[in-house]
A and B are shown apart, each in its own frame.
Chain A
């Protein structure tokens, strides 16, 4: 079955380290998204991509970067992790621009 996976599911890191969270989908969706979810803020968009080599900033992109070298993967990199980036991170994908998004299982990141 087609699916969307994230790894690792849990990660503890130290302030200042570079961290990369993986997202892989087998639906062949062009559109992929990264969100973070924090208590009191709901889901906030970090970065998104509408195709290979296309990346765009969301509302909370500072300190994060993405790259899209193929259809299946959109890795999220924290260049220098900060305690404020402790959160749950969700990757999502969609078939078309105005259709529903499907979410991965999430990565819980703790920055000490």
Chain B
């Protein structure tokens, strides 16, 4: 059973701080990795995608991938109350998994004003 694990939280940070969200996955053959943000009652919205080891930055968001450790993280700098949401980690297992996305159960982030 291929799995994606996330701490359910809530992760509570003060406004302006860095929020660090973590995700581990079990399938070593995984090739592509995604972070989605989901507000309550809304659909998942793509935040970041990352395909190779290292860091990828987009505005206040940085995704980090370490395939050797099977670990993906999302850093949110200068956190705002509007960042309060559930963040879903998703992993594409590649051809061996018929290219299906496996989602973690999500980490709830609360940014305190």
Does A pair with B? Answer: yes
Residues of chain A having any CB pair with chain B under 8 Å: 33, 40-43, 45, 48, 50, 56, 58, 90, 97-106
Given the interface contacts A43-B88, A48-B100, does A100 sit within 8 Å of B44 by beta carbon?
no
Contact B105 A98 (CB under 8 A): no
Residues of A within 8 A of B44 (CB): 43, 90, 103
Contact B103 A101 (CB under 8 A): no
- Any chain A CB within 8 A of the CB of B24? no
Contact of A42 (CB < 8 Å), options: B32, B46, B103: B103
Given the interface contacts A42-B88, A43-B88, A106-B43, does A98 sit within 8 Å of B32 by beta carbon?
yes
- CB-CB nearest 10 A-B residue pairs: A97-B99, A42-B105, A103-B43, A43-B103, A98-B32, A100-B49, A106-B43, A103-B44, A100-B46, A42-B103
Residues of B within 8 A of A101 (CB): 34, 46, 90, 101
Known: A43-B103, A98-B32, A98-B94. 10 other contacts (CB 8 A): A40-B105, A42-B106, A43-B88, A56-B98, A58-B100, A99-B49, A100-B49, A101-B46, A101-B90, A103-B36
Contact A99 B105 (CB under 8 A): no
A105→B100 CA distance, assembly (Å):
20
Could you give, for residues 30-54 of chain B, a 1 whenever the CB lies within 8 Å of some chain A CB and a 0 otherwise?
Answer: 0110101000001111100101000
Contact B43 A90 (CB under 8 A): yes
Residues of B within 8 A of A102 (CB): 46
- Any chain A CB within 8 A of the CB of B64? no
